[in-house]
Structure 1
Amino acid sequence: MYEQSRGEDSITRFPALGHMTDNPFHSWEDHGKDSSLLTLASGILSDEQFYIIILFIIFTSQLINICAIIANSLSIAVFVKLGFSEPSNISLTALAICDFILAVLLTWNNLCFLLAYHNVRLPFDSANVSVLTGGVQWMFLSRTVAWITAFISFERCLCILVPLKVKRLMTPRGTFIAMLIIILFTFGPSFFPYIRYKFVWVFNPYLNITILNTIPVNSEFAILFEKIYLVIFGVILPLLAFSIVLICTVLLVLQLRKISSWRMSVTSDKSQRVQLGETPAASSSAGEARISQKEKRLVRKVIAIATIFILSYIPTVIMLVCGVVFDDFNSYGVYSRLFFLSGYVTSLGQNISGSVNILVYYKMASKFRSVFRRLVRLDRQK
């Protein structure tokens, strides 16, 4: 009896199928009431197509998770060796640590889904339990990554626009405090879902054993509290962080082009003076050129990181907007399968972003590249 056919019955066995989406906290009781929607209006995809695509995404995600774990481990090791005298190293280290943890959580979520899909007998409901042991943490930590990226973009944008004022504020200590505030504000509330859901031991008639599962707390306070924090942390904060990154990236690109045009005009003016026999005032031009080149490299690195984030976060933004516009775009509505598929795609995109940042560091930071090559023994240490 426990070995049911996959398809509509698989959906019934996985009420927490959205555990890796950006809204994993749907109501189990609502799923029970509206489960007919999942079978009568399963969406565009058939049962077989749906599960083939989901399994393909999961296996692809697992490979990317391994790459992300290795890449961010190396990034953290390199930044530790570089030290934290520069504020940018502190924020980039925090970003690498969060990306590393995201990859670990996503690996656990994928594994739980595969165990549930293949009917592996376990002392816990892997699909439901993974929501409170991985899905919750993944969603809140992805907001942390978004806001750290927003901080990096905003800080670099201010350094270009008002450099003298920012340099007095953006010290290593100030950056460290800012990282702590962001982490506490975005990831600290990850205990909120435990007010709405809790772990219980329930008897499973299919396995004929008692297993660990999760059930909702149906108090009015818990339900209202869930709606409030889902709006704040599920919609408002990620969209606001995305907007900040997008605006700051555009400003950085425009400012970088403006600086490049100005320097070309200055260089052209100096060459004309030399041809006319005049002596240009170049007392500090060499020092200014060195500073500008270093600043330009750092700005380009931030632009590259922000651009990768924007591209990988666009599916999440689309999913959040669809969830606001369409009432049935949720884990138990008419478009449930499209919702689940979108959730897996968004998690995959964000994980790709965290795994390729090391390529940006290696390409655009000479100190990082030098320490990295020595760390993996590509260069001999003198």
Structure 2
Amino acid sequence: METESSLNTGTYIHFESAITVNTTVATEREMRITNMVKPILSAEVHDALVMFSTWTGFFATVVGMFSNALVIVTYAKVGFSDTINISYSALGISDLSTSVFRCWGTMCYILVLTNTKVPFDPLSVGITTSFFPGQGFEKTTAFLTAFIALERCLCVQFPLHVKRIVTKKITVTSIVIIFVFTFAPSNLIHMVYPFKFVYSPAQNRTILAMIPLQTPLRYIIQRALLAYYGTVLHFTALIVVWICTVFLAVGLKRTAKIRKDKFKNTSAQQDTQRGRRVIKTVFLLAVTYLACSTPIAATMLVPHFVPEFDSTRSLARISAVSHLLSGVMNQINSNTNLFIFLYMGSKFRETFLRLFGKKSPIKPGLYS
């Protein structure tokens, strides 16, 4: 068993990133911050907000795990005759995985806040086993949302040819590619941050911790991953969803006009209404994603325009709290799918209620 002479939690590991939640490190930097400039947010308010955000995030992740598990089971019962159901199921898998990793990371952080003695270092273990994998699945959710929105945009623009453009094979292939390119790179962090057993003076025993390699490769991989997930993937998905949301809004108006002016027979009206409901569902998913993901994008951009937002300046505590609250907002995005599908999809709603031996109190609609 390999041991080290001591373990200094929170100082031997540091990620230079605007998206890293450094609230524990902020506590250790208290003297440095005070000596440089007086923080605007008081320590008492900061600690209260950190505790509130942490526990809120924990309960949100638990809700996310259960709700997305129900989404996956329900769509497995509904079937995958429609390509959109395949995309919805993949979104549920991604959000479930995100919730699991976030839940584990929040539990590790709670162990740090409560100073609980466990046989591992919660901060370092949590960062490598939760933060980076969680980022991977978070961006998977983002790109799946973008893919679903783009698919519906194609349906609006090319209604007569979309079935040839978006086939089951293309849908499945696209989903697999998204998972590979968004989640797989997050595992590179384990190459330069291996786990080792180290001696903890505070616990007077050997515990498991993540010890970074002191090599140039470590900084290259670390900074590359943070740039890849924090900038490239995040803003690419955000921009695509914004653009597609605008097109979907226009498409909703167009389908409403077509249904009103052109279709007289019942079959055509049903097809148009069904397509409109699908567009509405995707539109709600896109708007929810934008509402929940824009705050974290703002927290990453603000330091470039307001230097005081840096983690060692007057707005350090506000920066730390804003990252935590943004993380809670991201988790809320993962929790809303079930409720959107229940509200918009009659077939999903009926299948969901049958899982619990109930019948839908709402008259079945035309959307499947």
Q: Normalising TM by the smaller chain, what interval?
A: 0.7 to 0.9
Equivalent residue for 1:300, pick from 261, 265, 280: 280
Cα separation, 1, equivalents of 2:334 and 2:74: 16
How big is the shift at 1:141? 1.1
Cα separation, 2, equivalents of 1:143 and 1:22: 16
- 1:204 corresponds in structure 2 to 200
How big is the shift at 1:222? 2.4
Structure 1 residues 249-291: Cα deviation after superposition (integer angstroms, max 9, x where no partner) = 1111112112323443447xxxxxxxxxxxxxx6xx4332221
Is 1:373 the counterpart of 2:349 in the alignment?
no
TM-score for both structures, normalised by structure 2? 0.86
Letter in 1 for 2:340: V
Cα separation, 1, equivalents of 2:347 and 2:211: 51
- 2:255 corresponds in structure 1 to 259
Q: Is the 8 A contact 2:60 2:332 kept in 1?
A: yes
Q: Residue 291 and residue 42 in structure 1: after superposition, are their counterparts in 2 closer, same or farther (change >3 A)?
A: farther
How big is the shift at 1:320? 2.0
How big is the shift at 1:47? 2.0
Q: Give the SS at the match of 1:24.
A: coil
- 1:129 corresponds in structure 2 to 125
- 1:288 corresponds in structure 2 to 268
Q: Is the 8 A contact 1:328 1:336 kept in 2?
A: yes
How big is the shift at 1:51? 1.4
Q: Write out the 4+ residue segments of structure 1 that deviate beyond 6 Å after TM superposition.
A: 16-19, 30-35
Q: Is the 8 A contact 2:104 2:130 kept in 1?
A: yes
Cα separation, 2, equivalents of 1:344 and 1:199: 26
- 1:67 corresponds in structure 2 to 63
Cα separation, 2, equivalents of 1:230 and 1:134: 14
Q: Is the 8 A contact 2:140 2:182 kept in 1?
A: yes
- 1:191 corresponds in structure 2 to 187
Q: Map of 1:19-98 to 2, 5 A cutoff?
A: 23-24=19-20, 37-40=32-35, 41=37, 43-98=39-94
Q: Residue 42 and residue 218 in structure 1: after superposition, are their counterparts in 2 closer, same or farther (change >3 A)?
A: farther
Cα separation, 2, equivalents of 1:236 and 1:353: 20
How big is the shift at 1:34? 7.3
Cα separation, 1, equivalents of 2:188 and 2:21: 11
Higher gyration radius (CA): 1
How big is the shift at 1:338? 2.7
Q: Give the SS at the match of 2:132.
A: helix
Is 1:227 the counterpart of 2:223 in the alignment?
yes
Q: Is the 8 A contact 1:331 1:339 kept in 2?
A: yes
Gaps of 5+ in 2: 1-7, 361-368
How big is the shift at 1:165? 3.4
- 1:316 corresponds in structure 2 to 296
How big is the shift at 1:121? 1.4
Q: Is the 8 A contact 1:198 1:216 kept in 2?
A: yes
Cα separation, 1, equivalents of 2:39 and 2:50: 15
Cα separation, 1, equivalents of 2:53 and 2:13: 14
Q: CA RMSD in A?
A: 2.9
Q: Residue 221 and residue 155 in structure 1: after superposition, are their counterparts in 2 closer, same or farther (change >3 A)?
A: same
